[in-house]
Amino acid sequence: MTYEGGRSIAGPFLAHLGASATVVGFVAGFGELLGYGLRLLSGRFTDRTGRYWAIALFGYSINVLAVPALALAGRWETAALLLMLERTGKAIRSPARNAMLSYATHETGRGWGFGLHEAMDQTGALIGPLIVAVMLHRTGAYPPGFALLLLPALLCLASLLTARRLYPRPRDLEPTAVELERAGIPPRFWLYLGGAGLIATGYADFPLIAFHFTRVGVVPLEWTPLLYALAMGMAAVTALAAGRLFDRAGLPVIAGAAVIAAGFAPLVFLGGRVAAIVGMALWGIGMGAQDSVVRAAVAQMVPANRRASAFGLFDGGYGVCWFLGSALMGMLYDRSVGAVVAFSVAAQLAAVPVIFLVARRDPGRAAIE
């Protein structure tokens, strides 16, 4: 609720403070670079220390408290700094969180477990933008919406403290064979990272999409967080469905989701109001798959003792690709919207044969063990 509520109006808010499309694209991309790149260090530190809860709580605190602080930002430079700080907090906590999820999903099935987590995450991401939309409608200003997000931020931290008390040793949730403890990161992981990186490179971040909506007047300003909420609702449903399918069919599910999601770019950047709505639904389908089964596949490939590091490596490479793609699409947008669409679609579809190649190299582990 907290950080997705803030992200739903980050693009228009930066534009309101005087930022250009290039700045919006750079801030969104560089924020994702921080949010993913720093996970390299966070993942290794988590595996070495085993302090899953301490690291997760520290990261979550930064992640969620930076959002309501946007209510105090009077310049786009300050807002950009807070948005990147929010991504930094997410970078710190994500490898530890993903590792704990991988242990907890040992009994439930990786796809379903990660899918359920993503569905719950996106339920909050649906409610948060709705809160912001109501505040925008009632006040016509951005700060009240950001300020109200302090409440879910505090509830988030309280929930984490409760979970820590109930499950102080998350590693104990998954029994691990001794021989697997000595295993490293397999070669197929790197090929899989390349395919996922292509998806990230071509995926336009929502701040740029929202900037486009505001700039050309596709929808009223109050609709922007509602469209984001629609996407998050689609992501929640997709995460559950894709999770079940992944446990049965494996990696081809990811390739299928990439093909479907590739259609969002021409709809949101070239179409009218109806096309924008359909495009945001497809964008949400892609996000639901990326944040659930794409990461569930990593847990399938890597032994438990290297899992936080693997998530950090995966997210680091993924974030670099997201940053490069977002920065490039921001620059392309200032010159040609059609070029943005062509680049986005081409990069996402290029990932499909790579994903199938990974599946063919390891058919025996494509589905849940």
The pLDDT value given to residue 365: 45
Domains of the chain: 2-365 (1.20.1250.20)
Handedness of CA 153, 86, 82, 80 (dihedral sign): negative
User: What digits encode the pLDDT tens for the residues 165-187?
Assistant: 998 988 888 776 444 444 567 88
What is the per-residue pLDDT across 212-259, written as a single tens digit (0 to 9) for each? 888 888 887 778 878 888 888 888 888 888 888 888 888 898 999 999
| pLDDT at position 82 over 50 | yes
Sign of CA dihedral 38, 44, 48, 50: positive
The mean of the pLDDT values for the chain is: 85
Q: Please give the Cα distance from 203 to 225 (Å, whole number).
A: 19
Write the CA distances from 357 to 42, 193, 215, 261, 352, integer angstroms.
30, 12, 41, 20, 9
Q: Any idea of the CA torsion for 64, 65, 70, 73, to the nearest 10 degrees? A: -150
Write out pLDDT tens, residues 285-334: 998 888 788 888 887 788 777 788 888 888 888 878 888 898 899 889 88
Closest CA to 315 of 34, 104, 106: 34
CA atoms within a 13 Å half-sphere pointing along the CA-CB vector of 156:
24
Task: Note the pLDDT of residue 362.
Answer: 59
Asked if residue 71 has pLDDT above 80, the reply is yes
Report DSSP state, residue 297.
H
- What end-to-end distance do the CA atoms of the chain give, in Å? 33
Q: What is the mean pLDDT of residues 82-88?
A: 90
From residue 348, give the alpha-carbon distance in Å to each of 34, 69, 275: 22, 35, 20
pLDDT for the residue numbered 21: 75
Considering only CA atoms, which of 8, 147, 17 is closest in space to residue 71? 147
Q: What is the DSSP string of 307-351?
A: HHHHHHHHHHHHHHHHHHHHHHHHHHHTT-HHHHHHHHHHHHHHH
pLDDT at 270 over 70: yes
Q: What is the pLDDT of residue 180?
A: 43
